[in-house]
Chains A and B, each alone.
Chain A
């Protein structure tokens, strides 16, 4: 029973890692680059939601606050690409990596300057409620997190597989020039992907803040762990990101219980290194051997 309890807590945690990893994968799919500011965008979403929803702040209804936070981050993502990142379009990959790392520093500073550096929690309608099945007690938050993640992954998967815009996104991520020749407005499509990843980041942030407290500096560590998840799953694969997130999320509580603490702390990174060395393109590989 104890094991099952740990497992469910791990899955809920893993879902949040998976959601941030989804943001990574979206950006990677769109521009073959990595948004190292994804973790900080998530924290931004969390703090926006806290400012909108908590009773001592704006005190809006939960769902309205969530929608507003998601919308704001979506617009933020779109403008970020349209005004800043588009200018380094066509430069080497490293440029984008460095730009987003720098952006993460700026975001972290701004969040800290506005909301302070103390951990804050989000007041959610499911806070403190528990679900009891037999001898098993699960916090309702965990159930909501798992449900929301499964729903979001399904929607995104359908979006990429079934809609014209999703197809256009896939096309422009595989070959920008050819996609442009086929009449796809590549620049706008890439900006839309950034908007989507902003929304996903906001949702991840809200779920994260509903589960525990958030602080501005959490973005870096969370971003790196979620990135490990995305890499384990194979960058560029949506189900892979979720699988990687779940793997890390489930591993952490078990490692924490059965291994010495300093080993448990670094276990996600060890797992990632092993996966990278044994199977460099991740568990859900999407790459064939590169041809000359």
Chain B
């Protein structure tokens, strides 16, 4: 590993470690800007989808990966964001204010729900949020004036700075819209993590008791994390509404919440990269399976189209990852990178984690 020589005080608070690190991310952004001009319309749509799910993943990651509160109900906040956004746009609001209002609406509802729910922890919290997800699913049908009931709502085209942006009409413009929002949120997220608030989130994740001892207001921190997380997820929901063109209660079933959690876990908990890795896997996996099936068909093996195959393959990937590398794809990448940086000095046990053995306060 290259030692880092700091030649100015600014190096301490710089988001990037040195020029090469900065250059890597610039190359990534450049690649993302060029990509739609190289790929066909279909794949531009898939890329937009990756971006929207990354955004939702970042919302979940903030809560699960960085604050340590497991949520199995985040599709509910995507639903709140999506329905608020579309309901406002259909009542004549312009795109940006509606987007902002949707983010605020899901963030505020998250903050309100956080108070009673965050008294629970661990599995109890997971199951309470799961119940919440089921309730919102039902609410989406009942609140017909806002959500359009069972039929749902259809997304109008976006008017922004004199352009008309539509997912199918102008896919590249829609892609750039998603990209700019995702880049802004990612920057804000990365900055948040090095602020006192972000450090408090991580402290609460690692040990609530020591965080409290260090003067962190745990309740306030958890509530804030929940609100921010729900806000980001709501923003993703609003974008998803434009991506899918039409949403109804079925767009945000509980299974989506579970998939969102699995997505950030596949990507790697506790890293922003993980949200993106997970989104790439979850969006491109069905494509990969379809391509694989075509290849098999070419050599004469016909695989019947089993329903639910992509979810099962995804689940198998998760099982393998959980057993071999619980930190997900980002953990794999870290290992590979360290192996390359240290070659030939990499040792096997470098990423081993301490195990903790079960000890409970239960009496029976």
Q: Which residues of A contact B (CB under 8 A)?
A: 31-34, 84, 87-95, 97-99, 101-106, 108-110, 112-113, 117, 170, 173-178, 220, 224, 227-228, 231, 235-237, 262, 265-266, 269-270, 272-273, 276-277, 280, 286-288, 290-292
Q: What are 20 A-B contacts with C-beta separation under 8 Å?
A: A34-B127, A84-B319, A90-B355, A92-B356, A97-B123, A98-B265, A98-B318, A102-B322, A105-B312, A105-B315, A108-B312, A109-B309, A178-B359, A224-B134, A270-B131, A273-B131, A276-B127, A277-B128, A280-B124, A288-B361
Q: Within the complex, which residue of B128, B262, B269, B316 is in contact with A106, where a contact is CB–CB below 8 Å?
A: B316
Contacts of A95 in B (CB 8 A): 322, 326
Q: For the complex, what is the distance from the CA of A287 to the CA of B363, rounded to whole Å?
A: 7
Are B135 and A270 touching (Cβ within 8 A)? yes
Residues 314-335 of chain B, each 1 if its beta carbon lies under 8 Å from chain A, else 0: 1110110011001000000000
Contacts of A97 in B (CB 8 A): 70, 123, 126
Q: For the complex, what is the distance from the CA of A277 to the CA of B117, rounded to whole Å?
A: 7
Which residue on A lies nearest to B317, using beta carbons? A102
Q: For the complex, what is the distance from the CA of A173 to the CA of B358, rounded to whole Å?
A: 7
Of all A-B residue pairs in the complex, the 4 with the closest CB atoms, nearest first, are: A90-B355, A109-B312, A105-B315, A102-B315
Are A88 and B322 touching (Cβ within 8 A)? yes
- A30 CB to nearest chain B CB (Å): 9
The interface size of chain B toward A, counting residues with CB under 8 Å, comes to 52
Are A276 and B70 touching (Cβ within 8 A)? no
- A234 CB to nearest chain B CB (Å): 10
Contacts of A88 in B (CB 8 A): 322-323, 326
Known: A272-B131, A276-B120. 4 other contacts (CB 8 A): A90-B355, A94-B70, A102-B315, A106-B316
Q: Within the complex, which residue of B131, B309, B364 is in contact with A170, where a contact is CB–CB below 8 Å?
A: B364
Tell me the residues in window 68-114 of chain B with beta carbons closer than 8 Å to chain A beta carbons: 70
Are B358 and A31 touching (Cβ within 8 A)? yes
Which residue on B lies nearest to A277, using beta carbons? B116
Tell me the residues in window 328-364 of chain B with beta carbons closer than 8 Å to chain A beta carbons: 353, 355-364
Contacts of B355 in A (CB 8 A): 89-91
Which residue on A lies nearest to B363, using beta carbons? A286
Are A286 and B315 touching (Cβ within 8 A)? no
Are B307 and A98 touching (Cβ within 8 A)? no
Are A112 and B358 touching (Cβ within 8 A)? no
Are B362 and A102 touching (Cβ within 8 A)? no
- A199 CB to nearest chain B CB (Å): 22
Which residue on B lies nearest to A30, using beta carbons? B358
- B89 CB to nearest chain A CB (Å): 26
Contacts of A288 in B (CB 8 A): 361, 363
- Given A102-B322, A265-B138, A277-B116, A176:B315 Cβ within 8 A: no
- A280 CB to nearest chain B CB (Å): 6
Residues 270-311 of chain B, each 1 if its beta carbon lies under 8 Å from chain A, else 0: 000000000000000000000000000000000000111101
Q: Within the complex, which residue of A33, A108, A175 is in contact with B123, where a contact is CB–CB below 8 Å?
A: A33
Are A262 and B127 touching (Cβ within 8 A)? no
Are B131 and A269 touching (Cβ within 8 A)? yes
Which residue on B lies nearest to A113, using beta carbons? B306
